[in-house]
Structure 1
Amino acid sequence: MVILVLLVVLALACFGLAGYGFGRLGQVGVRRADRQTRLKCAAALTGAAAAAVYGWGLLNLGLAVLVTEDSGADAFPVQPCRTADAPRAADVVGHRVEYLPPRYVCLRQGGGSYTTDDVPAFVGPGALGLAAAAGICVLLANAVPSASAPERKASAR
């Protein structure tokens, strides 16, 4: 249920950020936009991309959980934990779902664990890199003085 709620929130964030980024650029015009507007739009669009990449990982994680819950009589070891290395999957005693980064972890009897390939490996670093780029764009946009703001002159006393 948590994955479904997160997917809805991420979809809303993705479309909202993309709508702001493209809408603002379309309203002002790419050539007439000042540096601050371009940086704000870049931040919104990279934030939307980060939400999309993370959402892709959560979707794959949700499908792995769905396969696990629908295993029925074929539940040991759970389907996502089965690998080509049969001895490795033979001593699986449980599983864990992690959200940051999204991954499906199979717990082994001896205390070890391994991550399945259900969620692509690029999801965690990709979402983090895009979120960091969005944050940098926000910082740069706030550091650049606005072209429309009137310049303040020091009052002579």
Structure 2
Amino acid sequence: MSIMLFLGLLLAALAGAVIATVLTVRGFRAMLRNSERSGRVRTAALLVGAGAVALYAWGLLHLGYAVMQAEDGGAGSAPVGPCRQAGPQVASRVVDYDISFLPLHFECRLSGGGTYVTSSVPGYVNPGTAGLGLVAATCGVLATTTARRARQAVT
């Protein structure tokens, strides 16, 4: 792992913030334009989707901070900073770390095998992102179906 990983996580979080902003603006524009049912559901899909992306970006920032702490090579850098949460007995056995993007987490690898996940990424990020993402996808499907039915009824 390196500083490039930290920078990649930071850029991904910034991209997520931009995408969430674009979805939010599109959602509010759709809210102002549409009064029919499919428009309201599409608005909900855009706004809830923006929330999911923003929450995931928030988790990426936390993950990036944990990587930055892990890569700090100064005095007191062993064991890896985020892995110290488990206490000195377990932390003294940490040999490396790994990260995961789905679900977001920072994982410490132990000598002799075994791993444990730290609390570097807040516990609400993964379930919140999944829940909001499912709601956004459901609303998107409903909006598409409703709009398609409305077009078929007109013809």
Q: TM-score category by the smaller chain?
A: 0.7 to 0.9
Answer whether contact 2:30 2:42 (CA < 8 A) is retained: no
- Aligned partners of 2:26 and 2:65: how far apart in 1? 30
Q: Where does the alignment leave 5 or more consecutive residues of structure 2 unmatched?
A: 1-6
SS at match of 1:82: helix
Q: How far apart are 1:84 and its partner, in Å?
A: 5.2
Answer whether contact 1:102 1:119 (CA < 8 A) is retained: yes
Answer whether contact 2:14 2:57 (CA < 8 A) is retained: no
- Aligned partners of 2:37 and 2:154: how far apart in 1? 17
Tell me which amino acid in the other structure corresponds to 1:21: G
- Aligned partners of 2:51 and 2:146: how far apart in 1? 24
Larger CA deviation: 140-149 vs 43-52: 140-149
Answer whether contact 1:61 1:118 (CA < 8 A) is retained: yes
- Tell me if 1:151 matches 2:154: yes
Tell me which amino acid in the other structure corresponds to 2:123: A
Tell me which amino acid in the other structure corresponds to 2:29: G
Q: How far apart are 1:70 and its partner, in Å?
A: 2.3
Q: How far apart are 1:145 and its partner, in Å?
A: 3.6
Answer whether contact 1:71 1:79 (CA < 8 A) is retained: no
Q: How far apart are 1:148 and its partner, in Å?
A: 7.0
- Tell me if 1:7 matches 2:13: yes
Percent of aligned positions that are identical: 38
Q: How far apart are 1:90 and its partner, in Å?
A: 1.2
Answer whether contact 1:39 1:141 (CA < 8 A) is retained: yes
Instruction: Work out the number of aligned pairs and report it.
Output: 148
- Tell me if 1:41 matches 2:43: yes
Answer whether contact 1:101 1:123 (CA < 8 A) is retained: no
Q: How far apart are 1:150 and its partner, in Å?
A: 6.7
Q: Where does the alignment leave 5 or more consecutive residues of structure 1 unmatched?
A: 153-157
Deviating above 2 A after TM superposition, structure 1's stretches of 4 or more consecutive aligned residues are: 145-150
Q: What are the within-5 Å matches in structure 2 for residues 1-157 of structure 1?
A: 1-28=7-34, 33-83=35-85, 85-145=87-147, 147=150, 151-152=154-155
